[in-house]
Amino acid sequence: MNILDSIKTSVLTPIHPAGIPFIALFFILTIIIGWFWTPLYYIGFTLTLWCVYFFRNPSRKTPILSGTNKNNLIISPADGTVIDILKITPAEDIGLPEGKWTRVCIFMNVFDVHVNRSPMSGQITYKKYIPGSFFNASLDKASNENERLILNMDTENGNKIAFVQIAGLVARRIICDVDIGHSLKAGEIFGLIRFGSRVDIYFPSEVSVMVLKGQKMIAGETIIGDFSKNAKPVKEITDEK
C-alpha cells in the first residue's frame, strides 16, 4: 500500500481527538488561501489530508495468552521501527530499581501512527516530565537528552515496567492522558506524540525478547516480550558497552 492509498484509507479511520484542531485549522486556511489563488487550494487540500493521515487512530486487536500466563505479554506501545535492543542500567530518572533492565527503542517517523498504547495491564505508579533538547529521536542520546515523559507501571502479573515518550527533531508536543494511580489495560491508548518521535520501553532483563532490531512494530498488537517461563527469545540480547 502506497502513501496515497494509506491517506484514502485514513479518511475512513477514526481520528485522535488531539488532531481535530489541526485538521480544522488546515481546512480553514485552505479555504482562505484558495480564495486568493486557486492553485493554493490543491496545496492546502493535500496538507489537510496529510494531517488527517497523521492523526489517524486505527483499531487494534491486542493479543493475550490463556490461563495463568494471560498477563505475561509485553505489547508494543508504538508503531514504528525497533532501532535498539540492549540490557542496560537505567538512569535514575526512569524510576526503576537498580540493576540490569532490557530497553527496546521504537522510532516513529512522520508516516507512522503516533497514538501510543499501554504495553501491559497494570497501574501507573510513577510519572515524570523532563524538559530537554530536540535531537533526532533515532540517536541514542535522545533517551537521556531529549524532552521526555516517563511512566512506570506495576503490572497485573506482579512486575514493574517503564515506558518513555520521547520528543524528536520536529516533535514539539508530548500528550499523556494518564496520571499516577490510573489503571490501564494492555493495548489501551494513553497518549500521543506529534510529528516524529520515539518510545522506549524497559522491562526485567530475564524476560524473553520477541523482536529484532529493524523490525516494524504495530502499537497494541506486536509482542515485544514474554514473561512466561517457557517463552523462547528470538535472539540473545547483549549488555551495553
* 62-110 residue pLDDT tens: 987 666 667 899 999 999 999 999 999 999 999 999 999 999 999 988 8
Select from 116, 178, 184 the least CA-distant residue to 155: 184
Name the fold adopted by 67-226: Glucose Permease (Domain IIA) (2.70.70)
So what's the pLDDT on residue 5?
Answer: 55
CB 163 within 8 A of CB 129: no
Question: Helix crossing, 39-54 with 3-11: angle to 10°?
Answer: 80
What whole-number distance in Å separates Cα of residue 4 and Cα of residue 98?
A: 47
The domain locations on the chain are 3-54, 67-226
Query: Which three cell numbers, joined as nine digits, stand for 90?
Result: 537505567
Catalytic annotation present for 197: yes
The one catalytic residue in 197, 205, 208, 228 is 197
So what's the pLDDT on residue 10?
Answer: 47
So what's the pLDDT on residue 170?
Answer: 59
Query: Which three cell numbers, joined as nine digits, stand for 226?
Result: 514474554
Select from 222, 221, 226, 230 the least CA-distant residue to 208: 226
What whole-number distance in Å separates Cα of residue 232 and Cα of residue 170?
A: 38
Greater model confidence, 167 or 209: 209
What whole-number distance in Å separates Cα of residue 162 and Cα of residue 43?
A: 41
Task: Tell me the average pLDDT across 34-46.
Answer: 81
What whole-number distance in Å separates Cα of residue 18 and Cα of residue 192?
A: 8
What whole-number distance in Å separates Cα of residue 192 and Cα of residue 213?
A: 23
CB 193 within 8 A of CB 171: yes
So what's the pLDDT on residue 174?
Answer: 87
Cα 47 → chain centroid: 23
